């Protein structure tokens, strides 16, 4: 498998923790957050990893180098100015050789079956298959609404709390998807948000996008509270990972 890791965000909400490094390089038990993510990807069958880099991206390249230590090869795609998630994926296209490629947010650890995600993409002839996660409160993330087959009908990357201001359960984008290379080629060059520009436009055009739920461990370290929780989960063994 081939994968693109989106590492170009500025990490403003986690700036108090990572002022001197890109957010995915935040320290977790003496190693960067990305170490745990790259290790999981390698163990899941990813052989070629493409880092889509922006802010302080050279720190990531200096740490991971060729990828040999992780049993995979690594390519690096740099953006000269912030391109957004969609723009970063399009910018990395020259490094993509597979017909279908995994795309992941580099600040999210979501343990799911990547092989199954790809299999569902091929079986249903979808051009994009998102790994979704059911959670108790979608106010920070937004919701995916789909039919009984998994086809996405409505997409709201961000939604407010309901009128009672109480937590609202739902199914969210887990920050992982499989995309056909031909779909990436349709992303306009320049600044594009995959979530706010590309996906809504594709749905409006009737493009077949689907979501496959997973109940694997999920943590987005975008805010200090969740960053602290991930550190705790690594240190107490909630996540099966060697930290020595």
Ramachandran area for residue 121 (φ above 0: left; ψ -120 to 50: alpha; else beta): alpha
In a domain, 218, yes or no: yes
Residue 1: the pLDDT is 92
In a domain, 189, yes or no: yes
Residue 11: the pLDDT is 54
Q: CB-hemisphere CA count at 13 Å for 213?
A: 15
- Domain count for the chain: 1
In a domain, 27, yes or no: yes
- pLDDT tens, 214-243? 988 998 888 888 889 999 999 998 876 443
pLDDT of 244 strictly over 60: no
In a domain, 83, yes or no: yes
> Which residues are known to be catalytic?
158
In a domain, 242, yes or no: no
pLDDT of 5 strictly over 80: yes
In a domain, 244, yes or no: no
- pLDDT tens, 89-101? 999 999 999 999 9
How confident is the model over 211-216, as a mean pLDDT?
A: 92
Residue 14: the pLDDT is 63
- pLDDT tens, 173-187? 889 999 999 999 999
CATH code of residue 85? 3.90.550.10
Q: Are 4 and 93 in contact (CB under 8 A)?
A: no
In a domain, 214, yes or no: yes
In a domain, 240, yes or no: no
How far the first Cα of the chain sits from its last, in Å, is: 28
Q: What is the pTM of this model?
A: 0.90
**Confidence band for 103, pLDDT divided at 50, 70 and 90:** very high
Residue 240: the pLDDT is 63
Query: Which residue segment(s) compose the domain that 85 sits in?
Result: 2-235
């Amino acid at each position: 498998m081939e994968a693109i890791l989106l590492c170009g965000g500025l990490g403003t909400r986690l700036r108090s923790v990572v002022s001197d490094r890109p957010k995915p390089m935040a320290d977790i038990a003496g190693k960067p957050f990305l170490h745990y993510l790259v290790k999981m990807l390698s163990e899941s069958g990813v052989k070629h990893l493409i880092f889509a880099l922006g802010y302080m991206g050279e720190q990531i390249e200096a740490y991971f180098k060729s990828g040999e230590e992780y049993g995979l090869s690594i390519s690096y795609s740099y953006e000269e100015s912030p391109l957004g998630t969609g723009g970063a994926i399009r910018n990395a296209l020259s490094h993509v050789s597979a017909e279908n490629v995994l795309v992941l947010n580099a600040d999210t650890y979501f343990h799911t079956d990547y092989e199954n995600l790809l299999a569902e993409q091929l079986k249903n002839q979808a051009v994009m298959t998102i790994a979704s996660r059911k959670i108790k409160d979608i106010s920070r993330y937004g919701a995916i609404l789909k039919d009984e087959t998994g086809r996405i009908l409505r997409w709201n990357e961000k939604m407010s709390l309901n009128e009672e201001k109480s937590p609202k359960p739902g199914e969210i984008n887990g920050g992982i998807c499989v995309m056909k290379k031909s779909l990436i080629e349709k992303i306009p060059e320049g600044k594009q948000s995959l979530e706010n520009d590309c996906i809504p436009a594709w749905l409006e055009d009737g493009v077949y996008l689907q979501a496959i739920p997973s109940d694997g461990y999920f943590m987005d370290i975008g805010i200090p509270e969740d960053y602290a929780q991930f550190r705790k989960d690594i240190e107490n063994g909630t996540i099966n990972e060697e930290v020595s």
